[in-house]
Structure 1
Amino acid sequence: MMFNTYVFQVGLVSLLLQRFRALLLFSTLYLTLSICLHSWVLNLRWRASYRFVWTDGLQALFVFQRIVAVLYYYLYKRTAEYMGDPRLYVDSIWLREAFARARQ
């Protein structure tokens, strides 16, 4: 969706990155934690497939991953709502001012 905005098309990628910095950070963190959690769970289940294995470290990672998931989904919804702002898709005064600041 970011690539379809007028802001991106005129070259103000830094403005979009600045606006969505938190989402990009939490997306990367959530992806990393999810991969680590699922890899650890699969590794434990492959070693002992006939019994339930749940370690303290795995539980801590699970809780931390779920907390980050809540923040990730909140930021994702907020970004989706913001992407519906018509100011991002047309030329406007604030965009011209941002473009002038970026050129200086």
Structure 2
Amino acid sequence: MMFNTYVFQVGLVSLLLERFRALLILSALYLTLSICLHCWIMNLRWMESNRFMWTSGLLALFVFQRLGAVLYYYFYKRTTEYLGDPRLYEDCPWLRDAFARARQ
């Protein structure tokens, strides 16, 4: 959706990255935590498929991954609501000011 905005089409990608920095960082963090958690679980199950092992390190990673999930979904929802703002899809004075500042 960010690529469909007028802000992106004008070339103010830095403005979009500045506004959505938290989401981009949390997305990368959540993806990393999820991959680590699932690889660890699959590794434990591969070695001992007859019983379920739950180590304290795995529990800590699980808690951090779930906390990251809450933050990820909150920022994702906030970003989708922000992308619904019509000012991002049309020419307006604040966008002209941002473009003028970017050109200097």
TM-score range, shorter chain: over 0.9
Q: 1:16 maps to what in 2?
A: 16
Runs in 1 of length 4+ with deviation above 6 angstroms?
none
Q: 2:71 maps to what in 1?
A: 71
CA distance in 1, matches of 2:45, 2:3: 41
Q: 2:90 maps to what in 1?
A: 90
* Structural mapping, 1:50-65, within 5 Å: 50-65=50-65
Equivalent pairs: percent with the same residue? 79
Q: 1:99 maps to what in 2?
A: 99
Q: 1:45 maps to what in 2?
A: 45
How far did 1:79 drift?
0.2
SS at match of 1:14: helix
How far did 1:85 drift?
0.1
SS at match of 1:58: helix
SS at match of 2:72: helix
How far did 1:32 drift?
0.3
SS at match of 2:62: helix
CA distance in 1, matches of 2:13, 2:102: 10
Amino acid of the structure 1 residue aligned with 2:100: A
Q: 2:5 maps to what in 1?
A: 5
Which 5+ residue runs of structure 2 have no aligned equivalent? Answer: none
CA distance in 2, matches of 1:81, 1:10: 21
Which 5+ residue runs of structure 1 have no aligned equivalent? Answer: none
How far did 1:52 drift?
1.2
CA distance in 1, matches of 2:32, 2:78: 21
Root mean square deviation of aligned Cα? 0.3
